[in-house]
Structure 1
């Protein structure tokens, strides 16, 4: 196939030797299968901000670090320079999260390089060596659903222990590799300790897993791992191997109505995205 202009620079730098095919086109990037010597890898080419449908919501970008105060002021004012730096920070967030999570043993694609808005990383494969499918494209028995759900809850815990919340975790950004689920798409990842919305996002991530796998294993619908995990994290007791029960006793204190309404809107947005993805698949 014809080499996309953004990948030509990587070929000139000797980072890739050829482009085999386009793997997918998503809301914030296009992904290509590329050849690097004798290895096959992925190249994620980020779309320009004007071409993306995913919004850099303030909830996600809250408390993200920038290099200096000049950049911070420009980003706040929305100048051309500021927008460019905001875009750079948005892309770097996924790169930083991938390296951090891979080092912590989280099941994410291994990153190899980031150059001119292109992230070069591992190609997650299935048992036949082909690109692994997303969870939403697979069917599960109750036993498989329980096993994959448990594995992903463990990954959520491991991520949180590394100080990161995915922020947009669902069946659409988890791949089913030969040896189990692998988490992808992290440009919206947030710092668990430094973002005021981290708890809400963690609960939403776990809720998405509960609903998806609960369709195949209904007993999972009665679980509440999200609140249990966050309670341990807040108390400084969460470890990668912390035993979990999936049960949590909620406080009887007054409810924050604003927070509840926001969670409802999140659920509506998530369902709208599911419908959009299903219609696209058809």
Structure 2
């Protein structure tokens, strides 16, 4: 295993003691299992901008604030410094979100610091101490699917009450720990109040979860939790413990109700197709 230079720096500075093994590598970052004293954690090493394939980044970054007026001007002009600043903001977005969401009681990994572009955080494990599987990789019964759906909808509500939307939530960035689902991967986190596409992204997040868990509990497919929580959020009435019903009455005078339902159902079906494709690819490998 070739250890990234950034992790060697963390070893030299005593932040971690050892890189145990690679955990996963994605389009935005590579994650490693590391040891810090007696604790086993994970370290997320972000890839350089030129190496990443994450698309539509501008849409996700809308509404994020630069840390100062000089940085904001540089980002706006697209200078070399501005591009570096934009890169730093992209990395800091996940770090800031993790700390904020953890403090708000959202089920996310506990962050342990951000050093030289590396996010060190809790390693989520299963009941036996092995790396926790992703939600899209486990078999569930109907009762488990209902329970997980309720837990995850509550996490989305708590995120929204913090003014944040995951933006890329699906069964493949939810880990199943011994106490239930844990939400991961926040570099694309969206400002609920500052992003024009916030509602669309929230509905997509909720619909992705509903489509995945609806395979085990089909009646979940007839719920409208995303629409319900967004309406309450817009009205200033959403609280972290607000009881949701999953029912939502559309205003048929101002919207194409059939079009809305068709679009949401299409999104759910697409999520199922993508999940089945991932499962087939894993089986073939």
Q: Is this a same-fold pair by TM over 0.5?
A: yes
Shift of 1:153: 0.6
* C-alpha separation in 1, matches of 2:15 and 2:213: 39
* C-alpha separation in 1, matches of 2:280 and 2:84: 33
- Name the CA shift for 1:175/1:6 in 2 (closer, same or farther; >3 Å): same
* C-alpha separation in 2, matches of 1:91 and 1:269: 29
After TM superposition, list the pairs within 5 Å mapping 1:55-204 onto structure 2.
55=55, 57-204=57-204
Deviations along 1:222-280, one digit per CA (max 9) or x if unpaired, are 100011111111111111111111000001133489x97xx78x949867864774465
Give 5+ residue unaligned stretches, structure 1: none
Residue 233 of structure 1 is matched in structure 2 by 233
Shift of 1:113: 0.7
Moved over 6 A (4+): none
Give 5+ residue unaligned stretches, structure 2: none
* C-alpha separation in 1, matches of 2:98 and 2:245: 28
* C-alpha separation in 2, matches of 1:271 and 1:247: 22
Residue 13 of structure 2 is matched in structure 1 by 13
* C-alpha separation in 2, matches of 1:71 and 1:269: 39
Shift of 1:2: 4.5
* C-alpha separation in 2, matches of 1:29 and 1:21: 15
Counterpart of 2:195 in 1: which secondary structure?
Answer: coil
* C-alpha separation in 2, matches of 1:208 and 1:143: 19
**How high is the TM-score relative to the length of structure 1?**
0.92
* C-alpha separation in 2, matches of 1:44 and 1:122: 11
Residues matched between the structures, number? 278
Counterpart of 1:243 in 2: which secondary structure?
Answer: coil
Shift of 1:78: 2.6
* C-alpha separation in 1, matches of 2:75 and 2:276: 34
- Name the CA shift for 1:251/1:93 in 2 (closer, same or farther; >3 Å): same
* C-alpha separation in 2, matches of 1:78 and 1:270: 35
Deviations along 1:165-209, one digit per CA (max 9) or x if unpaired, are 111100010000011000000011112122222111111111011
- Name the CA shift for 1:69/1:271 in 2 (closer, same or farther; >3 Å): farther
Shift of 1:114: 0.3
- Name the CA shift for 1:72/1:274 in 2 (closer, same or farther; >3 Å): farther
* C-alpha separation in 2, matches of 1:78 and 1:276: 38
Counterpart of 1:66 in 2: which secondary structure?
Answer: coil
Counterpart of 1:172 in 2: which secondary structure?
Answer: coil
Q: What is the CA RMSD across the aligned residues, in angstroms?
A: 2.2
Deviations along 1:75-122, one digit per CA (max 9) or x if unpaired, are 233322221111100000000000000000100000011011100000
Shift of 1:16: 0.1
Does residue 35 of structure 1 match 2:31? no
